Structure 1
Amino acid sequence: MSRVTLQTIADRVGVSRMTVSNAFSRPDQLSAEMRRTILAAADDLGYVGPDPSARALARGTTGAVGVLLTESIGTAFLDPIAAAFFGSAAEGLAPTGMAVVLLPSTSSEDTIPARDIPMDGALIYGCAGDYPAVGWLVKRKLPLVFIDSAPVADASSVLLDERHGARLGARHLLDLGHRRIGILTMNVGVRAELAADPAAAGSGYVARERQIGWVDELTDAGVTPVVMEVRDNSEPYVSEGARLLLAGDDRPTAVLCFSDLMAAAIVKAAEELGLRMPEDLSIVGFDDSPLAQRVRPALTTVQQDFVAKGKAAAAALTSSISRSRAGLPPAPEQHRILVDLVVRDSTAPPADGRRANPS
């Protein structure tokens, strides 16, 4: 059987080759009936469409965008925060017709997805700028949007108002009367008083911003928190950190947590010690993930709008790609997503006899 081409289909339908090409690449140029007729003829002849590589070369665009995740792809989708963001971003990109390509942050010597996969731009979710994959995307001079990570020159960013959210949680505990307050957060470390320079505590952008917010609010009230830093936001690190933070007779009466997952670990550790919540221990999470309402008691937490964040990221990337295609210089935008405190059952005033006088 001879090779089926656009001209083969054109001859079958009795139209020009350009009309057949438009049926696949510019459907708005044809009536719905004509396009159906052409596609039916193509299907009958066993033609699946123009070669994607050739079409990309002709257009100067791949029709695909990448999403670079901090963790492995499998691990990321076990995180409800990452999954909620990705779902919203993908929905926001859907009207563009561009395909979404998931990029692992790791690579082998032979295959580097961030370097090798054709794409028109990329969303970089929560990755530090020193990730090799981020470096490859920057070198390619692709339109980029950074989400939950330090902004990069000539790239747009979508950030939560992390410091404000952290301050809301800390202020809530202070208003309830707590003065012995712990913090369970990211980054390798041991239980210690917070360093004099809070910006030096932690290498991750989100962890640093939240820590600055907590410490600023507590310091303004004359309270010095006890900080427990853990390697990352997963077992067994968070459980061990939670146990160490609550060890000893001088344990905190309240804990501010980097995430709802860490808050759940504090709940479990407190239960093992026979503590009542919130009577003996108040807990504040961050994110308002689905876990926040499954934990008992339900978590007081800082709520972020996953849908707004994903849609803002998609819109920023679409805008950047459009400028790139038009030959215009980058016009980086910074979108800051507002947060709010949701008060539930995990916080209350400290128990009688445990409340310290404000300093």
Structure 2
Amino acid sequence: MPESRRTTLADVAGAAGTTVPTASKVLSGRSDVSAETRARVMRAVAELGYRGRSGRGAVPRTDRPSLVDLVLSGVEGTWANRALSGVERAATAAGVDLVLTVAHGDGAWLTRLLERNLRGAVLALVDVSADQLATLAAARVPVVLLDPVAQPPSTVASVGAANWAGGRAAAEHLIGLGHGRLAVIGADRVALYTQARIDGFRSAAAQAGAEVEVVFIEWTATGAVEAATALLGRPDRPTAVFACTDNIAAGVYDAAESLGLRIPEDVSVVGFDDLPEVQWLRPALTTVHQPISEMGEAAMRMLLRIMAAPPPVAPREELATQLVVRGSTGGR
């Protein structure tokens, strides 16, 4: 296709082996399209770089209802509640109504979002594919990724936390207390934030010549406890554990108790997130504070700016994390 010619919906339909009306249905969120056809159209949109109509005959975003969507990977737990509170606070201040959608694994959230003809969306901890992002761009729905699961394309805006710096701060704290045998327990091995936290931790440990063992768990009710029990039950157990989330840290507490180990006398523990529920842990958990509510607010403000005036370059914002020292860490 010549570079001078703009990709059209007819090109998309041809590449997907369907008709222009059917391709249009996919981009408008119509449900009367098979899952196989929908996937073909979305793949063609991504491969051809189709961006939708932007000239005469196009519907401007400002003519759409004053609604924006918050898409969450789930609504359980404090993380989702804090993210929602921040997004809602910024939306209310701007006089914009908010719609909440849960992104289940079947991808139906995208169809519902397109069908509502929203002005924009914040996608929070959603593992969104390149085809889905391309479909949103083709439908002219601006998005901001909040705490992205994977590295966002250069064309997609995002807000995250300083995960690398938080992981490094955790390691520096433990090394400063005299710990040389360290362990990390993480979940979501491929998630961008998990990788960043572990990489930051490892960088400080390598600089200090400390040993680090990394273990990944499955997100189950007992996954963290089982992994921590295996680590701490060995004769050469680590003297300190960095849990990549506070929920994992709670599992380390349970494992230590079952083995008759004291925190921090026998093993120090550091978490990540600083969720309200960790206040029930005893001793109080040393953890890396993640400004989740502020991240949600920043993501919505960024989306509102993009909706008002699309920037030439997708903005990125990273909010600072901070180590909060409490009673779960001690010297060797």
Q: Which bin holds the TM-score, normalised by the shorter protein?
A: 0.7 to 0.9
Aligned counterparts of 1:213 and 1:61: Cα–Cα separation in 2: 43
- 1:21-75 deviation line (CA, Å, top 9, x unaligned): xxxxxxxxxxxxxxxxxxxxxxxxxxxxxxxxxxx999621211111212xxxxx
Partner of 2:223: 237
Partner of 1:84: 82
1:336 maps to which of 298, 318, 329: 318
Partner of 2:302: helix, strand, or coil? helix
Partner of 2:169: 168
Q: 1:58 to 1:129 in 2, by over 3 A?
A: closer
Q: Which structure would you say has the larger Rg?
A: 1
**1:1-359 correspondence to structure 2 within 5 Å:** 60-70=63-73, 76-106=74-104, 112-130=111-129, 134=133, 136-149=135-148, 150-187=151-188, 202-232=189-219, 234-324=220-310, 330-350=312-332
Q: 1:178 to 1:66 in 2, by over 3 A?
A: same
Partner of 1:197: none
Aligned counterparts of 2:195 and 2:162: Cα–Cα separation in 1: 12
Structure 2 letter corresponding to 1:62: P
Q: State how many pairs are aligned.
A: 271
Structure 2 letter corresponding to 1:348: G
- Cα RMSD after superposing both structures: 2.3
Shift of 1:139: 4.2
- 1:99-134 deviation line (CA, Å, top 9, x unaligned): 211222226698832443321111011223438755
- 1:288-313 deviation line (CA, Å, top 9, x unaligned): 11122221111000112233212211
- 1:202-252 deviation line (CA, Å, top 9, x unaligned): 3111111111101111111112311110123x4232222222222321111
**Aligned partners of 1:320 and 1:331 also within 8 Å:** no
**Aligned partners of 1:320 and 1:330 also within 8 Å:** no
Q: 1:178 to 1:260 in 2, by over 3 A?
A: same
Residue range with higher mean Cα deviation, 308-317 or 272-281: 308-317
Structure 1 letter corresponding to 2:104: T
Q: 1:181 to 1:67 in 2, by over 3 A?
A: same
**Aligned partners of 2:90 and 2:301 also within 8 Å:** yes
Partner of 1:240: helix, strand, or coil? helix
Q: 1:58 to 1:321 in 2, by over 3 A?
A: closer
Shift of 1:330: 4.5
**Aligned partners of 1:106 and 1:133 also within 8 Å:** no
Shift of 1:140: 2.6
**Aligned partners of 2:120 and 2:141 also within 8 Å:** yes
Aligned counterparts of 2:198 and 2:61: Cα–Cα separation in 1: 50
Shift of 1:97: 2.4
Aligned counterparts of 1:169 and 1:127: Cα–Cα separation in 2: 26
**Aligned partners of 1:160 and 1:336 also within 8 Å:** yes
Q: 1:235 to 1:109 in 2, by over 3 A?
A: closer
Structure 2 letter corresponding to 1:66: D
Aligned counterparts of 2:132 and 2:233: Cα–Cα separation in 1: 40
